[in-house]
Every structure is written in C-alpha cells, then in structure tokens.
A and B are shown apart, each in its own frame.
Chain A
Amino acid sequence: MITVNNREINYKIGMSVYDALQESGESINNMTLVVVDEKVIALDKLKDEILNNGMNIKLLHIVSGG
C-alpha cells in the first residue's frame, strides 16, 4: 500500500511518485510540495523517484510567501 494524503492506494512494483499521484487522482501545481516519507521531491523528479511498498506521500500547498 502507498498512502497519499491519508488515502491508501495499491502498490505496484516500479511505481514512481508520479504514478502514485495519477492513481490517487490528487492534483498538484507549481506551489505544491510533494513530500515522500518526510523528504521533498522536486517536481521535475517525480517520474524518477521510485516508491517502496508502505511509503507515505503528503501533498502540502504553499499559501503565502516567506
């Protein structure tokens, strides 16, 4: 299982972060931080980042500037 924002989806071998997001139906934009097990994945690396079973994806959205 992979958890995306508290929702579980089935894990498939070789699944990337991008695939998991597609599967979950969660949408992201360029203000989204994709966090996999507490590590931020750059938006242009989502297809390269391969998941292991049990990983947790959190989507955080920047709502104001620092």
Chain B
Amino acid sequence: MWSKLSIDMEKLEIKKEPIEKEYKELGGRALIAQYLIRNVPPTCDPLGSENQLVICNTIFAGTKLTTAHRLSIGGKSPLTGGIKESNAGGNAAYQLANQGIKMVVVKNIPKEKGLWFAHIDSKGNVSLEDANIYKGINNYEFVEKINERYGDKVAVISIGIGGERLYKSASIQVTEFNSNHPSRAAARGGLGSLMGSKCLKAIVIENPVEKYKVEYADEGKFNESCLKFNKMIAAGAKKDPFHNFGTISTIEATGANGILPVDNFSGKLFPEYQEVGVNKFMTNLSARGGRNKIPCQPGCVIQCSNCYNDKDGKYLTSGFEYETIALFGPNCHISDLDAIAQMDRICDNLGVDTIETANAIAMCMESGKINWGDSEAVISLLKEMEDGTEFGNLIGNGCEAVGKHLGVERIPVVKHQALAGYDPRNTKGTGITYATSPMGADHTAGLTMGRAFEDAGRTAQAYVSNKLQVAICFSDSMMCLFAFAHAANNLPLLGELVASLYGGEADFSRVAAMGVKTLLTERQYNKMAGMTIEDDRLPGFFYKDKSFATGSKFDINDYELEVLFDF
C-alpha cells in the first residue's frame, strides 16, 4: 500500500503511515485539492503554522505510463492567497514512487529558529537532518553538496534563498533526471516561501534497495492499455515541435500573430522574435555542445528538455523554456538569447519563478527605473535579489509588489499572480482561463491558443476555456500536460487505465468527474478564503487598450466570465 509521509516541523519528527482511504485513488492536483479543503483552513496565514505543504505523486505513479512521474506541490499560496497546485518534472516523483511514497505533507513550524532537510535513505528510513550548514546556499551548490554527501543517485526537492527569505515568487526546484541539475521548478504561487516558512530546506530521496511494487486491479489489462497509450504519445511526439526542438518553438507561433507579449504586454509586435527562436537556439546548441531531446523524468517519450551551454561551451542552464524566453525576452525588449539563459540560471539557482520575476523586471522598465532591452541592468537587479537589498527583496515579492511600488499603471496580474507568455487580447480563451482559474493567471490551467475554435467567437472561447480547465484538472492529476495534449483523441483509454489500476468501471466519465470535482473544490476553497467574482477579472488595460498587432481588445464581459462555471 502507498505511504504518506507526515513531517511535523514543530515536533521535528517524521511519520510514515499508510495513505488514508479517501486519497488512495487520487493523485496530483486532485489529491491536493481534496487534502487542502479538509485540512488547511482557507483563511489561515499562508506562512503560518496552519498552512501545510503537500507534495505528491500522480494517480499513475509507479507504473510505466509515460510522464506519469510528475511531481505536484500545493498549499495555500503566499502569492495569491488562494489554493495552489504547481507541478514539476524531474526525478523526485519517480524516486518517491520507488520508495512507495504517494504523498508528503509538511505541517507546523519549528518552535526555534533553524533549518532542516528530510532524508529518505535507500532502506526507506526517514529522518530530519540539520541543514544549518546549507543556510543561504542556492540550489545548484546545494545539490552538489548533497551529491557529495549521498551520491549522485539521489533526487532532491529544494529551495534556494528565495524560499529561505520567504519571497512570494519563490519556487521549489527539483533535480532533473540524469543531469541532477536543479532546473525543474514548481514555480508558481510562491510555494518555495511556504516551504521556507516551515524551515525545510529540502527533501532528499535516495534510490531504494527494493522498489515499491504497485498493486493493480488487473495488471495484464493495465499493461496492455499502457502500451497502447505510450505508443500513441510516441507517435504524436514525432510531429511535436516540443520533441523536435523544445518549448521554445512556441515563439515561432506567438511571435507572428501578436500573442507573444512585448514591452510589458503593450500589444506591440517584436519583429526580431526569431532572434530568440528555434533557429538561433538550435545553432547555439550544436555549436556549443548543448543538447535537446532530453527527458526530464525517466520514461518520457516527448523529451522536451534541453541543456544550454554558454559561448565557451560551459553548462549554463537546462529546462530553458518558452515562458522564460518570452517574458525575459520580448516582454523586456531583450533579444539576446544568452543573456536570457543567464537570467534563467540565476532564477533557478535562487529558487524564484521566472514568470513572476521577469514580469517584475518589466515593471522596472515600464517605470523608467531601467531601460527597455538593457539585459545588463536586468542581471544587476537579479543580483540585488541575491544580495537581499531592499529593492531586491521587493522584486522577490513579484510583479504586483514592484509595479505598485513604482507607480506603474499597467500591472499584468490576476489574483496577484503575473501573466504567463500569452497576450490575452489575441488568445481570448486563454484570457478567460487567466481570469477565472483558481490558480491565478496561469497558462498551464487551460491555454486555448491554436485550438481550431480560436476564431469562432466569444461563446466558443468560453466553451474551450471551460472544457480545458476541467481537462487540465484531471491531466495534472495523471501525467505531464505535454503528453496529455497527444492523448486528447483517445480519452476513453484514460478510463481503461484507471479501471485496470484501481478497479471499477472502465468509463471515462469517472475521469471527467474527477476534473470537475477538483475545479469546483478549488473554487470553493478560494471563496472560503475570501475571493469573490471580482477576482475573476483581467487587469483593466486589456479591456481598454487595443493590441497594436491585431486591433483586438479583451472583450469578454463580466457576465460571460461569471457564468463560466455554472454547471
């Protein structure tokens, strides 16, 4: 039976116990929603003792289903003040599954100051270790030290100084499969500061001597469906730009049609977008010994990750993604891919969300504090974060904090969380998702860009956003979103997989119902936390100012947003 690890930071003890019956068949985002609504008071202080950090595996953990080892992390968000689930690739979910651990909860805060890390050894013993020697050490150096101490087969979930300083933009970093670089991030919503508030620096998971064996309702049937599923995803991957180049390929589409944000979501086009596009990226990779087609977790057939080296061929960053490139790039009027890669590395190292941080930097440019396109000034501001200057700490608290401080009018946030790399005036369904998702402005919650119905009018946009938001709720409970994108043509197969694993009806409707239940639970949680329909809105300037690229405004009215989830 799957285990749950409860880490009590007040008592400084860890308990390993069988997972409760009600969570047995859940995973990922669905599990987090159900756990939080039962166990974490929605009105609690996100950095206080009542909040809990929940880290869990997906429904298909421990199986051979491709991308099933996605790590979900949740809690009441220090940034949005609402419910939060943020997921990451890497090797930690796989290693937890090998240890037979479905879920880790971190409760309470220590009575005395200090820093600890949780250690799960190769025999499955768990302990809390003193981490004071690692205080103030960032993610890359921390992982190196942990590798020296425990070997390089461990998986590490850690925070940098962003989390230690309780920055609202703080991420939780996860080591990537094979390379061990802490470059995979559960980045959104400031969950790193929640982990920091618990004084937990890391969770270190060793490879177990004996691997946990999953219990199947019908193992033969599961293996059959799993093979079918994996073949389907592998076939889709061949024609997927993410497999061929990585997520950077998104820029080739968004750059041409006004979806790529430019100069703080000004609505302008960025004619040099291909300077930060695929051709430049691939040329740099091959000239400098970098690589693409890297799986961030074992068994991924899409393999969208990469390893990007600097001009001298020295490792600079990995998991170098579209969002980071779009937001530190064109949205800050920067077209130097190497400079953006350096910013990505700094953010991963400090443990801060690149989306939140890049938007905060755009606030500095909009206000005139630094010039548009000045990458050196950006690096200096990131250095201020590292040094913990007053302004550096302000940047650490995200886009809204910086924008308000500098008197900026156009602050691109929803529920206090900065927008990802898509201008909602030119992908309105995505704008509806940004506005209404319980997660705040989050592209992974239901990105409608590129769907056939994109030009089909407002009702269709709302319909697609609604449908995708439900679908992502169950996809985030099962696998990586990029695999799910290829599974959409055979959804009944998901029902078969769930039934052969847990028993019961092989019916897709149970999967869909889990998605609906998750979304409604999250919305209920936010309501209990004090959010109202007024929080389900985009910033005013998207309704008022036209996109120069297309002439379009965000014209979905309040009523259309309000009825979106009237089931």
Tell me the A residues contacting B by CB distance below 8 Å.
29-31, 33, 35, 38-40, 42-44, 58-66
Contacts and interface: CB of A to CB of B under 8 A. Distances in A.
A66 B321 contact: yes
Nearest to B325: A66
B256 A62 contact: no
Contacts of A59: 239
A63 B443 contact: no
Contacts of A66: 242, 246-250, 321-323, 421
B498 interface: no
Contacts, number: 76
Secondary structure dominating the interface of B: helix
A47 B253 CA distance: 18
A58 to B, nearest CB: 8
A60 B249 contact: yes
A33 B274 CA distance: 13
Given A39-B279, A42-B252, A42-B256, 17 more contacts: A31-B253, A31-B449, A40-B252, A42-B274, A61-B241, A62-B240, A62-B253, A62-B450, A63-B450, A63-B485, A63-B486, A64-B447, A64-B481, A65-B322, A65-B447, A66-B242, A66-B250
B282 interface: yes
A38 B242 CA distance: 14
B244 interface: yes
B179 interface: no
Contacts of B239: 59-61
Interface residues of B, number: 37
Contacts of B485: 63-64
Nearest to A30: B257
B236 interface: yes
Contacts of A64: 242, 447, 481-482, 484-485
B272 to A, nearest CB: 12
B278 interface: yes
The listed residue with most B CB atoms (<10 A of its CB), out of A29, A38, A58, A64, is A64
A30 B256 contact: yes
B455 to A, nearest CB: 10
Nearest to A63: B485
A63 B236 contact: yes
B210 to A, nearest CB: 37
A6 to B, nearest CB: 10
A66 B486 CA distance: 14
Nearest to A59: B239
The listed residue with most A CB atoms (<10 A of its CB), out of B244, B245, B246, B252, is B252
B277 A40 contact: yes
A38 B282 contact: yes
A30 B256 CA distance: 8
